[in-house]
Amino acid sequence: DAGITQSPRYKITETGRQVTLMCHQTWSHSYMFWYRQDLGHGLRLIYYSAAADITDKGEVPDGYVVSRSKTENFPLTLESATRSQTSVYFCASGPGTPSYNEQFFGPGTRLTVL
């Protein structure tokens, strides 16, 4: 089915471990985004990508790594997880044209770092 999917939906890990969150979209949108949602902070942009092999930092990039070798995939890696990275992570995609920046969100991944 067309859309945007995230995996896993729930993840529990330990401090110091590497974790990768996956995001896949079938719309061929050029832009993809990673946000984290925390109580009291709303949604904050971690990284975004304008196209394959083009990525850029958002508001809170520290501790995260992204890559985008294919248009449809945009994985987010926590290189050494910390408790402060416990959050709900949303991936989004959008066409990113000058007149239309609407973003479409995936179902989210709830990550707990013990």
Partner 1 sequence: ELKVEQNPLFLSMQEGKNYTIYCNYSTTSDRLYWYRQDPGKSLESLFVLLSNGAVKQEGRLMASLDTKARLSTLHITAAVHDLSATYFCAVVYGGSQGNLIFGKGTKLSVKP
98 is an interface residue for partner 1 by CB under 8 A: yes
Indicate whether 75 belongs to the interface with partner 1 (CB under 8 A): no
- Using DSSP bridges, classify how beta strands 31-38 and 42-51 pair: parallel, antiparallel or unpaired: antiparallel
Residues 33-52 touching partner 1, rule: CB under 8 A, are 33, 40-45, 48, 50
Residue 85: phi and psi, rounded to 5, are -90, 0
Q: Which of 46, 78, 103, 113 binds partner 1 (CB under 8 A)?
A: 103
Q: Which is nearer to partner 1, 9 or 17 (CB)?
A: 9
Report yes or no: 21 and 6 within 8 Å, Cβ to Cβ.
yes
Distance CA 20, CA 64 (A): 10
Contact between 55 and partner 1 (CB under 8 A)?
A: no
Secondary structure (3-state) at 83: helix
> Bridge-partner residues for 22, per DSSP?
7
Give contact residues for partner 1 (rule: CB under 8 A): 31, 33, 40-45, 48, 50, 58, 90, 92, 94, 96-108
